[in-house]
Amino acid sequence: MRTMALSVFLVWAVTACASTGDAREEVLVFNPELREALAHYSATMAAPRVPMAMASGATVSSCDEYLAQGSRAGTASVPANNTASLDYVICDSVAALHDALPAPLDAANARGETLADRLDLRSFRSSRYQRTTDEAYTLRTVTDQPLDIDTYSAALDSPGWYFKLEVVAVTDIDGSGQADWLVWMVDQSRGGSYLSVVPLVVHDPSIVGLLNATPLAR
């Protein structure tokens, strides 16, 4: 069940394509599916996807069409898009990495612990946002249940909810000259149909103190 959310939207037809030679080697990518998609950038952009309605009235069915329509900001607010949008998280992510600037090497080796203890959940919207207070605002402090933490991720896997933050890549996304983390947030109700996967940018994670994240802007 834990991997279901990611597998839903990481099914795209690029694995059989030959490399186009347009990978960005200065981008540090940890997630294997995202690494493969970036290595085959042109094929990823053109691969057919679940049709999705846009606010303009157009229907898109590829990353190229989706990004041309304004990406996430241009999607229509219709129920069918709740599922279809999962197939386009990879589009936002690959496009951001392809356009990113070179950044100093990120030598961090405990990113999961950092996500659990230093990322301010008040800085972006999620199911955990309503649980934050002035005293409790990190993933570890807003829950009394143990977290699943590894090198790249921190997850709350409870009977009622699944919430995961995963560092999938490192590069300078916001143009600050410092490395940023591209994070995939999986937010899923165990008892209902709600499922959201959102790419976030954790800005300048090398700083001391709390970290902030914002939705990936395209």
Q: What's the pLDDT tens digit per position in 128-161?
A: 988 999 999 999 999 988 999 999 999 999 989 9
Tokens of 39: 């290595």
Domain co-membership, 116 together with 211: yes
Which are the contacts of 4, defined by CB distance < 8 A and separation ≥ 6? none
Asked if the structure places residue 153 within a domain, the reply is: yes
- pLDDT tens column, 43-62: 999 999 999 998 889 999 99
Which are the contacts of 1, defined by CB distance < 8 A and separation ≥ 6? 162
Q: Which of 113-118's residues contact partners 24+ apart within 8 Å by CB, and which partners?
A: 113/149, 113/154, 114/205, 114/211, 115/139, 115/153, 115/154, 115/165, 115/167, 115/183, 115/202, 116/140, 116/147, 116/149, 116/154, 118/209, 118/210, 118/211
Task: Inform me whether the pLDDT recorded for 9 exceeds 80.
Answer: no
Domain co-membership, 209 together with 116: yes
For residue 164, the SS3 value is strand
Asked if the structure places residue 197 within a domain, the reply is: yes
Range of the domain at 132: 111-215
Domain co-membership, 93 together with 119: no
Task: Inform me whether the pLDDT recorded for 11 exceeds 60.
Answer: no
Short-list 102, 125, 110, 134, CA closest to 205? 110
User: How many domains in the chain?
Assistant: 2
Q: Sorting pLDDT into bands at 50, 70 and 90, what band is 22? A: very low
Domain co-membership, 52 together with 116: no
More confident position, 207 or 169:
169
Domain co-membership, 133 together with 46: no
Judge whether 118 and 207 are in contact, CB under 8 Å: no
The confidence score (pLDDT) of residue 62 equals: 96
The confidence score (pLDDT) of residue 207 equals: 86
Q: Sorting pLDDT into bands at 50, 70 and 90, what band is 5? A: very low
